[in-house]
């Protein structure tokens, strides 16, 4: 897919965390996965790491999130906070600040908000973003706690997040219009109400290039595109290699090695308009 030549105003952008804002090949994702199997053995009573791996792979293929997979297997007694702390571990052992990614995020048009959307829990996601020195570049972090019983790539998960983004952006606009603060980060979470959520329904599909989503998972981008016409930017790497079955699906999206200025200024210039 070639460069996008459009002057359409971008409303907002969503960013995945793992494998998107840092390269999945750096070992952090592998370490987290290894701790999942250790958790299954030490906390849930599985006999061996190999047995845990086999059962995990079968369930993860269905549910796309390990916590949801374990709940579906009937493991409901452990606290989710214990699970996330155990499996995510100390991110500082693998993550380092990336000034190229930070500069790219900073130079994206300040006229639209940026959000993180990850299947990881918010607390651990924020720890990783802080370690990468980019937490302050995002207006909000949506994770496993917010999405509850659902997760990417389900339409329900995207719809729930998009409804909240809509309310949050209304609150941001209200802050700006009052003239009291131009910083969208200053919006208080208490100011965002659940006004008539039951009547809002699922967000209608966006116009082309109005909303962007950065992901290393092809199936997440396909769901976002097919259900809400979100424009996908696909991060090439290990996840794509695992998911891509040799079909032409990945060609539906702009593909980059990492979110840096050198690639995005060329391929998606509207993000810097």
- Confirm whether 180 is domain-assigned: yes
**Residue 110 pLDDT:** 80
- Confirm whether 75 is domain-assigned: yes
**Residue 173 pLDDT:** 80
- Confirm whether 2 is domain-assigned: no
Based on the fold, state whether residues 88 and 157 are members of the same structural domain.
no
Based on the fold, state whether residues 70 and 43 are members of the same structural domain.
yes
**Residue 190 pLDDT:** 47
- Confirm whether 170 is domain-assigned: yes
**Residue 176 pLDDT:** 55
Based on the fold, state whether residues 210 and 169 are members of the same structural domain.
yes
- Confirm whether 4 is domain-assigned: no
Based on the fold, state whether residues 197 and 213 are members of the same structural domain.
yes
- Give tens-digit pLDDT for 120-172: 999 999 999 999 999 999 999 999 999 999 999 999 999 999 999 999 999 98
Q: State which of 92, 125, 144 marks the end of a domain.
A: 92
The angle subtended at Cα 84 by Cα 260 and Cα 186, nearest 5°, is 55
Task: Tell me the CATH number at 57.
Answer: 1.10.150
| Residue ranges making up the domain that contains 229 | 12-26+97-272
- Confirm whether 6 is domain-assigned: no
Mean pLDDT by 10 residues, the chain (273 residues): 60 97 95 98 98 97 95 97 98 96 92 95 98 98 97 97 95 65 44 48 81 96 97 93 82 95 95 91
**Residue 139 pLDDT:** 96
- Confirm whether 3 is domain-assigned: no
Based on the fold, state whether residues 150 and 51 are members of the same structural domain.
no
**Residue 175 pLDDT:** 63
Using a CB cutoff of 8 Å and minimum separation of 24, what contacts does 33-42 make?
35/86, 35/87, 35/88, 35/89, 36/66, 36/87, 38/86, 39/83, 39/86, 39/87, 40/70
Based on the fold, state whether residues 152 and 112 are members of the same structural domain.
yes
Based on the fold, state whether residues 70 and 129 are members of the same structural domain.
no
pTM of the model: 0.89
Query: What would the 3-class secondary structure string for the chain be?
Result: CCCCCCCCCCCEEEECCECCCECHHHCHHHHHHHHHHHHHHHCCCCCCHHHHHHHHHHHHHHHCCHHHHHHHCCCCCCCHHHHHHHHHCCHHHCCCCCHHHHHHHHHCCCCCCEEEECCCCHHHHHHHHHHCCCHHHCCEEECHHHHCCCCCCCHHHHHHHHHHHHHHHHHHHHHHHHCCCCCHHHCCHHHCCCCCHHHHCCCCCCCCCCEEEEECCHHHHHHHHHHHCCEEEEECCHHHHHHCCCCCHHHHCEEECCCCHHHHHHHCHHHHC
Instruction: Count up the domains in the chain and report the number.
Output: 2
Based on the fold, state whether residues 35 and 22 are members of the same structural domain.
no
Based on the fold, state whether residues 237 and 220 are members of the same structural domain.
yes
**Residue 178 pLDDT:** 53
- CB under 8 Å to 227, separation ≥6 — which residues? 155, 158, 159, 205
Task: Tell me the CATH number at 113.
Answer: 3.40.50.1000
Based on the fold, state whether residues 126 and 228 are members of the same structural domain.
yes
Closest CA to 171 of 161, 160, 186, 156: 186
Q: State which of 58, 75, 92 marks the end of a domain.
A: 92
Based on the fold, state whether residues 65 and 193 are members of the same structural domain.
no
Based on the fold, state whether residues 78 and 149 are members of the same structural domain.
no
**Residue 243 pLDDT:** 84
The angle subtended at Cα 208 by Cα 206 and Cα 211, nearest 5°, is 60
- Confirm whether 169 is domain-assigned: yes
Q: State which of 40, 75, 92 marks the end of a domain.
A: 92
């Amino acid at each position: 897919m070639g460069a996008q030549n459009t002057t359409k105003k971008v409303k907002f952008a969503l960013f995945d965390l793992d494998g998107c804002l840092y390269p999945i090949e750096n070992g952090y994702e592998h370490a987290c996965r290894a701790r999942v199997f250790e958790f299954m053995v030490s906390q849930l009573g599985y006999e061996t790491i190999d047995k845990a791996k086999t059962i995990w792979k079968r369930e993860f293929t269905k549910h796309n999130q390990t916590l949801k997979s374990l709940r579906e297997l009937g493991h409901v007694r452990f606290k989710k906070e214990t699970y996330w702390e155990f499996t995510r571990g100390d991110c500082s052992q693998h993550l380092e600040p990336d000034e190229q990614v930070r500069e790219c995020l900073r130079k994206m048009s300040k006229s639209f908000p940026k959000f993180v959307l990850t299947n990881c829990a918010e607390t651990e996601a924020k720890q990783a973003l802080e370690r990468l020195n980019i937490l302050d570049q995002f207006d909000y972090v949506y994770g496993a706690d917010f999405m509850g019983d659902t997760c990417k790539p389900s339409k329900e998960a995207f719809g729930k997040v998009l409804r909240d983004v809509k309310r949050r952006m209304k609150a941001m606009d209200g802050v700006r219009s009052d003239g009291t603060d131009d910083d969208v980060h200053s919006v208080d979470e208490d100011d965002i109400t659940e006004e008539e959520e039951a009547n809002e329904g699922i967000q209608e599909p966006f116009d082309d290039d109005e909303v962007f989503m950065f992901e290393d998972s092809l199936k997440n981008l396909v769901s976002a595109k097919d259900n809400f016409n979100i424009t996908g930017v696909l991060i090439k790497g290990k996840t794509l290699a695992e998911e891509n079955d040799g079909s032409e699906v990945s060609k539906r999206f702009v593909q980059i090695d990492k979110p840096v200025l050198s690639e995005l200024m060329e391929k998606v210039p509207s993000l810097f308009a």
